[in-house]
Amino acid sequence: MDNQLLIESFNEPVVILDVDQGNFVDCNEKATSFFKLSKKKLLSKNPSDLSPANVYGHNAQAYARRVIQEALAGGNPVFDWVHIDKDGHEIPCEVRLIRFPPFSKNLVRGTILDMTQEEPKEAILRESEERLRLALEATDIGTFDWYPQENKVFWDERIYKIFELTPTADVDLNAYFFSIVHPHDVERVGQEFETTLQDHGPDSSQVEYRVLVNGKTKFIQAFSKVIRNDKGQAIRLLGTSQDITPLRESEEKLKKSEERFRNVFNQQFQYSTVLDLDGKIVQINDLLLKMHNQEREDVIGKYLWKGPWWEGNREWQQKIKQQVLMAKTSEGPILTEDRFFSVNKDIRYTNSSYQAINDVNGKAINILVQAIDITSEKEARQSIEVNQKQLSLIYNSVTDFMLLMRIEKAGFFIESVNKAAIEGMKNVGIDINEASLAGLNMLTYFEDILRYAPNQIKEHFEVYNRVKKSKQSIRYTTEAEYNGTFLATDTTATPIIESDEVKFILTVTHDITEITQSKFRLEQALGEVKTLKEQIEQENVYLKEEIKQANDFENMVFRSSEFSQVLKQVEQVAKTDATVLITGETGTSKELIARAIHNVSTRSEKPMIKVNTAAIPRELIESELFGYEKGAFTGAIEEKPGKFELADGGSIFLDEIGDMPLELQVKILRILQEGEVERLGSTQSRKIDVRVISATNKDLNALIEKGAFREDLLFRLKVFPIEIPPLRSRPNDIPALVEHFVNKYSSKHDKPVDMVPKSVMDYLRNYAWPGNVRELENTIERAIILSNSEHLSIPEILNDSPSQIQEWSHDDSLNVIQENHIRKILIKCGWRIEGKNGASNALKIKPSTLRDKMKKFGIKRPNN
């Protein structure tokens, strides 16, 4: 409750006395009427101005000091007094004094009862007491009455409310009180009571303590007045208790707020200080103090411009002073660049702000000065200016053609060109100067100056737009003819990025005409050499010629476009975590493709665990895949992680997935869906991060129709399917594979075989290889073992399976592709032409059309 409202609630005159100053500081309207003075006049008086020199035989001033001190000690003195109004009339009255508010140390409230009124004194007292009760209720101040000799305690309802106890509770109030006093305050509160209850002890006491009620901590302010008998023994304690928790919490919040402000102020990465309006330092942060190793007390109270930062330079000091004084009346911050001395007397630079701090009424009360050290940035700018001059010299001294173009919404425009570019254009008959090119649209430059063809212009602009979009340099070459002169160039277009946007493109063009022409002549010479070499080494063509294999995969030997397409799929999927299903006939190197996927992936640092599901006994496959806990089954003497756990972070290769038992397929599906594995004998799931690659030579769709394979598992496994074509579908790979296996096994078996006759190679190319690469490898190893000369021979297998021998063509023309495809379908259909399972049905053509094409390509069914 507001103090003014409280004193106005009294029907009697009330004055508030400041004991330290000796005068009244507040009063209610009843007091101004009683003394017949205006409030302003009354508050300029002190008690002696309104009283006679002697009151009822006492010295008025001495008597007043004694009762006032009694009130300040916590008492409630009541005494007769005489006041003199402005007309000089003496008015007998009774005065009651009390501290106001209860915890004040210098303010006393006086309540005056006019004894000349006809109303009985008792009625006035009752009314006053009622008002006091209402005032206490309004301020939530509780009262207590304790008779220590009888150990009787009386609390009013506000005390019960403060201590959160029901007034009807049948408890020992003293015992209850000490049970809720905070453990850290019990001893102090007990000592205060013991001191108060001592014979001839103090007449009053004041104590602040904490209580713990219903899990909450409350702060309590208590005052008590001690009534003693003629022996000095305490027979009664009258007092008040007030819950001051909100006050203490506010103080704590204020304290923390001030602490946070100090921390933020001191931890700023800029120099900060707060000044009074005269320019004297009130606060200063640690960063500014450390600049000159100053202590805070060395600078507090001093004028800012007289600090060590500008010592000895009157010009700088005068500027700082002027900016501080201007900030007092400036509506906004004053921003400027300042200089100051470091502790080593080096000159440093700052971006500074001087701004007034206003109160709620908009009146300036302080000045905040903040500064950021920009010395490094300023030095960097100066260095950049020097570098720009140096770069300009380099720009115009290099021999490469350099052109800087500016990017605008309307297109690309020339910003500048170097001298070499001007000279280069003159060499091909284009006479122009740099000033004529500046600001020119690149389209105009290409069409009117260089006279490029439309397709050449398109190629250049495609490069510029790619540079703009990708924000990366692009290198490209061009060849053109100017006025009968051939010119080849190698150009690098580099983006110049500002604020994360490409603003300019710098092209650096190198004349490679001579290199290009030399390369052309060299290629012609090499072509002639190649022709001669082919003639000389005709019989040894497959082992001696250099085979260029366009792949980056370990252990991959191939030449065909079919297998190249497989590796392209490997590159596409390797960098992802998608599941891969590899299908193909037996011996088509499915495991090699799986390992290639793993090795190129981001998981290559971790292992790829291989599991052949067909090779593991049915009763062991679950424990092998998922692991088991100790005691999970007979013989499980210790825990063992499964293959999936071992592959965590890497890949797992499930070979022959079509042979996996149906009951285990559910668990594989859960791993793919949830990324969790559960060991045998365990109830806890383990999170794993595994990439699953599977392979099979079976038709999984057929297995699904038979109920031997789960369709939902197939969907999960073949997010990215890869089918490896059989070797008979890619005959161009056979020479490379033959060379590889000849080198491998001639070295292994110490055989001097280093030549494959053309007749042998033709036979190997035309064989259908039902066992694919594995069969070819085994055949070559057997032939190496049986060979007795440097020529590879395979007499044993010439008659093994003549039905598999076919003549295949080996170039990429459309007719050859058709011929090879028809041969492949005929073999697949057992040379049946008509009917549901015939080749004509598979090729979607009429049987008569198929016979015509067979006749055209000379395709004949083998005799057997």
Q: What is the DSSP letter of 821?
A: H
Query: What is 687-742 written as a DSSP string?
Result: E---EEEEEESS-HHHHHHTTSS-HHHHHHHTSEEEEPPPGGG-GGGHHHHHHHHH
Q: Is the Cβ–Cβ distance between 160 and 247 less than 8 Å?
A: no
pLDDT digits (tens, 9 = 90+) for 564-610: 899 999 999 999 999 999 999 888 889 999 999 999 999 989 889 99
CA distances from 600 to 563, 576, 591 (A): 17, 10, 14
Give residue 739's identity as a one-letter amino acid code. Answer: E
How far apart are alpha carbons 659 and 126 in whole angstroms?
104
pLDDT digits (tens, 9 = 90+) for 609-643: 999 988 888 778 888 888 998 888 888 888 889 89
pLDDT for the residue 482: 67
pTM of the model as a whole: 0.35
Token pair of 595 as six digits:
């390992």
Q: What is the percentage of the chain residues whose pLDDT exceeds 70?
A: 87
Q: What is the mean pLDDT of residues 760-771?
A: 85
pLDDT at 154 > cutoff 50: yes
Q: What is the mean pLDDT of residues 821-827?
A: 85
Q: Which of 123, 122, 120, 141 is nearest to 132 (CA)?
A: 141
Left if phi > 0, otherwise alpha if psi is -120 to 50, otherwise beta: which for 107? Answer: beta
pLDDT band for 263, please (50, 70, 90 cuts).
Answer: low
Query: How high is the mean pLDDT of the chain?
Result: 82
